[in-house]
Each structure stands twice: as C-alpha cells, then as structure tokens.
Chain A
C-alpha cells in the first residue's frame, strides 16, 4: 500500500520521547536542584512553577510505553524485561517524587523536610535510572527466539553509569533554565549562576558520549565516519558548540526565556545524534523497526488515533501552559 507504518510509528515514538525528555526533564530537574536551594519558600516557588503541569508532562512517558507496546510489542517486551531493575528503580523514584508533590504541602510541619528529601531523591533516582537505561539501549541487547536472552545486570556498565550522570546534568540544566524563565529575584539569580557551570558540564558530557559510542561500537563508527554521511552529520557537533556558547552568553545577558529555548535546542541536537547512531534499529544492535513491527492492523488502528488526537492534545496542553504563563513569585499569598 505504500504507507510505511513502522516508519511513521517511529516518528511518532521519537516525537513522544522527545516531548517526555523535554517536559518531564524540567520538572525532574527541579527536584535535582533542590539540594542547591535551602529556603523553604523558594522551594515552594520552584514546585509551584510546575505543579499545574507535571502530571501532563509525565503522561508522555505513559504514552511512550503504550505506543511501544502497540507498534513494536517485541521491543516493548525485550526492552522492559532487559531493563527490569533500572525501570523498577525509575518507577520507585517517580512514585516518591509524584507523591511528594502533593504530600509536601499536606504534611505536618515536622514531616515536611522528609517529603522535600523524598522529592529530591526521587528525582535523582528516576533520572539516573533513565540515563542508565539510555546507556544500556545504546549498548544493545541480546535477543534470541523473540525474547531477551541477556542477564539481569547487563545494563550495569561504565558507559551506562556515565549516561546516567549525563542525564542528571541535562535535566538539571533544563530545570535551572526553566526557573530562570519562571521566577525572579534572588532565586532567579541563583539559577542563572548555577546554569553556567551545568551548561559547560553538559557540553562535556555530550562530547564524551559522542566519542565513547563510536569508539565502543564499530557499526556506529562506520555509520558516522563514512562518506557522504560524515558531511551531513558534521554540522551537528558544530551546532552543539554554537548553541552552548549562545546559551552561556544569554545567561550573562539577563535574558529570561532564551536560555531555556537554547537548552531545548541543545538536547534536540544530542537526540538527533543518538538517532543517527542507531537508525534503523529499534533493538540495537540487530533488530530493525521493520523486524519488530506489530501486525499492520494494530499499527494502522492506533496510528489513525495518534495522528488525529496528538494535535488536539498539544493544543489543550499549550492552552494550559498559557493559562499559567508568567512569573511565579516567591512567598506571594503563601499562608
């Protein structure tokens, strides 16, 4: 019929995952930044900037899981059983953090510090586990007879631990620049100052991952360094560098919105690099998006809904962000 359903679904999934990383990234980032902000009312302000939207942000993660099951059931099974322990850790982190969102306002005074800690720890654990999962994904999985054939701890590699750290840095930067955009006064100044070293660290992390991946995986290296691919891909590292420099400059220039947008661009560039490295495999190193695809009847049915409904979702999500636009002020109206 000419419609390449697996390809279309890969677009939808890549888009959904990108949305997740960006949106839950900044609210996980807020938890990651908690240890750097001691003042309770400032912490309240930080949480209030995302309180009305965090649930929607996390829903992209649910969409990722569900759509993967719908379009690539084999991938869903293999990835989720291979990454069993990191995913349980991630879910545990998200539970502590999600509960703390509500509980830290409802608890007795004496318990509030506990839920603040839970919020920060939950954010760290969830992010770090996601990063480990990312590293394990790049490293690839052993598949035999349509099932995961590796061990329980295969994800535990130096590379995985490094990508875990890298994702912590990335989300911290998203969180900091989000707060630069959404707050003012001393908190905003603190975030501005914090964002600079974090941005430099992120540039370092991106560089290391970009060198480590082709170094460890010959097939990735082959994809990057063969002509004409190399010519097409060469601008990506340049753009990463240019974006980081502009980001640092706008942080210095007292701009409010630009740093956040530039961080988004930076992550987007890193993400494209990742896609280039893995394409067209959905279970690296050997299972392609066509091998893992669900029956056409399943993909088609779900795709019809996705293409029609996702734009509506984006519209009312945008409306919700619009309703809560503008700065959140510290201590204002707090009883």
Chain B
C-alpha cells in the first residue's frame, strides 16, 4: 500500500522545504564569517590576495543568500499553513522567538547586506568592514533564535498548559532549555565546517587544474586549518550532545543505536551496521562491538540504557531512518577528521598544494558537510517523532485540516519549483566557483551586478584606489 495520508504529506512537505532551506543558511553562516575574516585580514595586512578572495566569495555569497531568503520565507509561513493546530497551541512560545529572530537577525542581515555587496564606492573601508561584520553577526543571531525554538520543541520546559494552549511562565527556561546549548554549538560548528569543506574543495579543484595562484593556495590553506581545528571539536560536541539526548529523549538514542532490549547484567554493544526492523522489533544483520555503546553512553562497561522495547510501540521513532542517518553523519565526521590530519601532515611535508590524491579527496569532500548536516537534522527530527513538542503534542494533532489532494498539489508545486529554481541557482554558484578568484580585480570591475548600483562618484581609474587609506 502506498497510500499517503494528509499528515504524511504535510510532513513530507515540511521536511522537503526545510531540508532545501537549511542548505543555504549553513553556507550563509559560514561564508559571512569567512568574508568578515578576509576583509579584516585585508585591512590589516593590505595583501591584495584577501581582497581578491573577498570579491570572489562575496558573489557566491550573494546568490546563496538570495536562495536562503526566499526558501526561508516559505518556512515562516508553513507553521500556519500546514501546522495550524501546532501554531494555535504553541504560538505563544514559538511566535515570540521567531519575532525576535526577525527583529534582531533578519533585519540586521538585510539592512547591511546592501552596503556589503554594493557599497564599495559609497562608504569608507572601515564602514564597509563594519557592514560585513554586522551581516556575519546577524546570521549567527538568527541561528541562535531558531535553534532555541527548535530545541524547546525537543526538550520543552518553562511553560504550563492552560485552556488547551501553551503559556510561557519562565522565558529564560524556555530559551535555555536543556538541549539548546548543545544544538547551538553543534549546528554553528557544522556551518563553519560545511563552508570550510566547500571552500577547500573549490581550492583543490583549481589546484588540480594547475591554477596555483596565491589566492587559490590561500583558500585551500585557510580551509584546511579550519577543518583541522573544528572537526575534532565537532565530534566532541556531538558526543556531549548525545549524552544530553540520552537524558531527555532516551527513545531517540535507542533508535540511533538500534538498541531494542537490555540483557540482564550485560553491557550494550555498539552496532556498527545493521538493519533495524520496526515490525519485528529487532536489528538484523548486525556487526557489533561488545559493550562499546555502554562505554560511550554510560562510561561503564556494564551500564545499561533504555531500549526501544521499553517504550510503547506508538511512542517509538522510526529506528530504520534514525539509525542510518546517524551513521551517515558520524561516518562523514570521521572522514573530515581524517582530511584535517592528512592536510596537516602534507603541510608539514610541504606537499599540501601538490598531492593529487589529497586534492581529489578534498574536492570530493566538498558537499560532505552539507550532507552531514542534513543527516544530522533527519536524526534529530525523525528521532523526535511521534511528538512535535516532545511529550506535549503529537505530530498527528498538529496538522491543519487540508485534504490530501490540496497537499499533493502544493507538494508538487514545491518539488518542481525547488528543483528548477534552486537547482539552477546551485548551478550558477558552481559556475562562479569554477571561474576562480581573479587577481588584482578592482571593485569597480566586479562582474557582480555590472556596476555598483549607482556610481555617484567617478570610479577610480586605478584599481588600487579603493585600497584602504590606513597606514
């Protein structure tokens, strides 16, 4: 039977649109900070390599940002169109958080973006730098609020239910709910990591084609430092995140581990691979390491933690999906670690820019950050099921009263449109990447929008005129 109910369709629609959305914000968050660093380095060291890189990446940033904005717009409305009972029930908490996000983050990003992208000849260098920094800060504030909202739905606290709806009683508890710090750290680091992998892949790709310009080398080098430092931190944070989840959402951890039942007095093995079978209530074809899961999650070789059988069948998340999405994320995380160390080794041997196997590996790892992020979110969100607000509201009670027909029609619109618009946009981004940074490119020649929207002042003939006048 392949009969999707209105609930299934609403979930598919939300999952589809948010999965597309998250691709862009992660790159926006990472690139905005990268651009701020590049501009800072340029102002400080006055090395034109940094300016070339800034101009190069800011064009890609512009395309990515536009797609982030329009796909985000859909998300802000979908809570009402698809999950109207959820909005009536929990709007008193998610609404103010989203409002703060708009007020403190979206306006900040949008307000300074114009100056950042088009203001080169309109404001002085330090004001321009200020605009870039504001955009970067805006993206991080945005992540903070939306993750507070999502984390509250995962581990809700600080509220009462009065007259059938959520009433906040302690805003600090609502915002600083138990999973928020972990999720904020893990997701922000993921954004930096994903961007570093993307930037590094761009550098490696150009090096493989023999374009070893200073800008391309700088790009690869900066990315490799970032990955080296951040990948291990991400794994440590992920581990702590998991321990926290065990405390607050044990069913999710059981699903991630494919762990069904405890044997008396025995530690839980770490299942490397297997196929959790929801109907049979067991994990098939397992390859496992005895007692390792106990050690990781309880720090005791004989420790036990709840298995899926400890929860009524209707309260179990889909372990088949969660088990595998979790392994995709962790597997990619380990590959990133490997990449970071390999880069360090080659740097030490002074072959970072020449080792073709390494450069191919780096190129292939380009999308791995984005894939790991999607896998991570699938783990988190599917693992939360069947709750939309953990322990307080079930997903089936959240959905609007639309017919399956209406939802199928709109889903079709979204799929076709996202594939064509965002597919094309990603294509344009990759084409810009393939062009590569241009050396000594003056701002006035930016291939961006043809021109800074209006050049009220005559453009400097000498490209170096726009160099900062600091000395």
Contacts and interface: CB of A to CB of B under 8 A. Distances in A.
Nearest to A90: B77
A48 B453 contact: yes
B115 interface: yes
Interface string B147-171: 0000000000000001001111101
B425 to A, nearest CB: 6
B91 A70 contact: yes
Interface stretch (A195-203, A253-261, A268-276, A319-327): A319-327
Contacts of B417: 92, 95-96
A38 interface: no
Contacts of B424: 99, 103
A189 interface: no
Given A99-B67, A324-B122, A295 B168 contact: yes
Nearest to A53: B114
B313 interface: no
Query: Contact size class for B?
Result: 35 or more
Given A99-B421, A324-B453, A334-B451, A63 B99 contact: yes
A81 B84 contact: yes
A309 B103 contact: yes
A2 interface: no
Interface string B445-458: 10111111111100
A48 B449 contact: yes
A101 interface: yes
Given A69-B95, A78-B84, A85 B74 contact: no
Interface in A59-88: 59, 61-63, 65-71, 73-74, 76-81, 84-85, 87-88
A305 B171 CA distance: 13
A204 interface: no
Interface in B382-432: 400-403, 406, 410, 413-414, 417, 421-422, 424-425, 428, 431-432
A77 B89 CA distance: 10
B80 to A, nearest CB: 3
B358 to A, nearest CB: 31
A58 B413 contact: no
Contacts of A80: 77, 79-81, 84, 87
B324 interface: no
Contacts of A295: 92, 162, 165-168
A55 B99 contact: no
Given A81-B402, A324-B122, A63 B102 contact: yes
A327 to B, nearest CB: 7
Interface in A299-316: 301-302, 305-306, 309-310, 313, 316
A329 interface: yes
A313 B453 contact: no
A79 to B, nearest CB: 7
A79 B80 contact: yes
B75 to A, nearest CB: 10
B334 interface: no
Interface string B165-181: 11111010000000000
Contacts of B118: 51-52, 324
Interface in B443-471: 444-445, 447-456, 459
B147 to A, nearest CB: 16
Contacts of A49: 453
A152 B410 CA distance: 12
B168 A51 contact: no
A63 B103 contact: yes
Given A95-B71, A103-B424, A146-B88, A323 B119 contact: yes
B80 A324 contact: no
A44 interface: yes
A102 interface: yes
B231 to A, nearest CB: 31
A152 to B, nearest CB: 5
B421 A61 contact: no
Nearest to B65: A55
B453 A152 contact: no
Interface in A84-127: 84-85, 87-88, 91-92, 94-96, 98-99, 101-103, 105-107
Contact of A81 (B400, B452, B455): B400
Interface string B68-94: 011111101101110011011111111
A71 B66 CA distance: 28
A226 interface: no
B374 interface: no
B117 interface: yes
A323 B445 CA distance: 20
B67 to A, nearest CB: 6
Contacts of B459: 333
B123 A323 contact: yes
Given A73-B91, A77-B88, A102-B63, A66 B101 contact: yes
Contact of B70 (A63, A99, A106, A323): A99
A95 to B, nearest CB: 4
B107 A313 contact: yes
A318 B422 CA distance: 31
A306 B168 CA distance: 18
A52 B81 contact: no
Contacts of B113: 52, 55-56
Contact of A77 (B87, B109, B406, B431): B87
B87 to A, nearest CB: 5
Which 6 pairs show the lowest CB-CB distances between chains A and B? A73-B91, A80-B80, A52-B114, A70-B95, A69-B95, A77-B84
Interface of B: 59, 62-63, 65-67, 69-74, 76-77, 79-81, 84-85, 87-96, 98-104, 106-115, 117-119, 122-123, 162, 165-169, 171, 400-403, 406, 410, 413-414, 417, 421-422, 424-425, 428, 431-432, 444-445, 447-456, 459
Interface of A: 44, 48-49, 51-53, 55-56, 58-59, 61-63, 65-71, 73-74, 76-81, 84-85, 87-88, 91-92, 94-96, 98-99, 101-103, 105-107, 146-148, 152, 294-295, 297-298, 301-302, 305-306, 309-310, 313, 316-317, 319-320, 323-324, 326-329, 332-335
14 contacts: A51-B449, A69-B79, A78-B84, A80-B84, A88-B414, A91-B77, A96-B417, A106-B432, A152-B406, A297-B168, A298-B167, A323-B123, A332-B455, A333-B452
